[in-house]
Structure 1
């Protein structure tokens, strides 16, 4: 059976019930897409948790963590800015830390990572931009 993203109504519900978004691959460089998207989500009221083994100690005013396992608080969404071939270990770690959603950004698809996350009960979203989906499903925030 081919992968299908949740419906827009389901995505809206996910975003309405989200507080913490761990952004894997978040760059400390303001000209990078990951930084721009995370900053926009932060401006919309979400708590952004930077996850990247490289970079400044803080990104967007938040402490940076090397891995998802280092994050000392609950994670609602693991938002991934990594190449598709690097997503399986991220999915496995998202399962391990008890995240609710694995969200692979636009252009990122990894069926195996999605299956690992889905089998563990996570909602999986692939090849969608979280910023765009938030703007479409929750325009007046």
Structure 2
């Protein structure tokens, strides 16, 4: 059976119930899409945790080399990596007991989706978290 994203009402509830987003592949370059989207989500009130072994901090937050190094609960693992890297990221997301694995626009991997779903995570693929948040929670998390 082909992958389908959850219905929008379920995505809305996920976003409302989430506050910490680990961004795998977050760039420290402000001109990169990952940086712009993470910054916008941070401005909407989410805590953004960069997962980038090549940087020490991004957007005022300490960077971690892997999801396993993050010493607190992560709600959503948002991925800005090529599709072939996502099955391992899905396994890491399951291991840290995230609520969801979110593969950004253009990132699709059925194996990663199966791994994450088998581990109890909600999976969203090939959608931009910033766009979905803007559509589903236009007035912010507490006012929709």
Match of 2:116 in 1: 117
- TM-score relative to the length of structure 1: 0.98
Q: CA deviation at 1:53?
A: 1.1
Residue 132 of structure 1 corresponds to: 131
What is the CA–CA distance in structure 2 between the aligned matches of 1:88 and 1:70, rounded to whole Å? 18
Residue 2 (structure 1) aligns with: 2
- Partners of 1:66 and 1:2 lie apart in 2 by 32
CA distance in 2, matches of 1:117, 1:90: 9
- Once the two structures are TM-superposed, the CA of residue 66 in structure 1 deviates from its matched residue by 0.4
Q: What is the CA deviation profile of residues 39-84 of structure 1, one whole-angstrom value per residue up to 9, with x for unaligned ones?
A: 00000000000001112x1100000000000000001000000000
2:39 is matched with: 39
SS of the counterpart of 1:11? helix
1:44-123 equivalences in 2 (<5 Å): 44-55=44-55, 57-123=56-122
C-alpha RMSD of the superposition: 0.5
**C-alpha distance in 1 between matches for 2:28 and 2:54:** 9
Provide runs of 4+ in structure 1 moved above 3 Å: none
Could you say which residue in structure 2 is the equivalent of 1:30?
A: 30
The residue matched to 1:93 in structure 2 has which SS? helix
CA deviation after TM superposition for structure 1 residue 137, in Å: 0.2
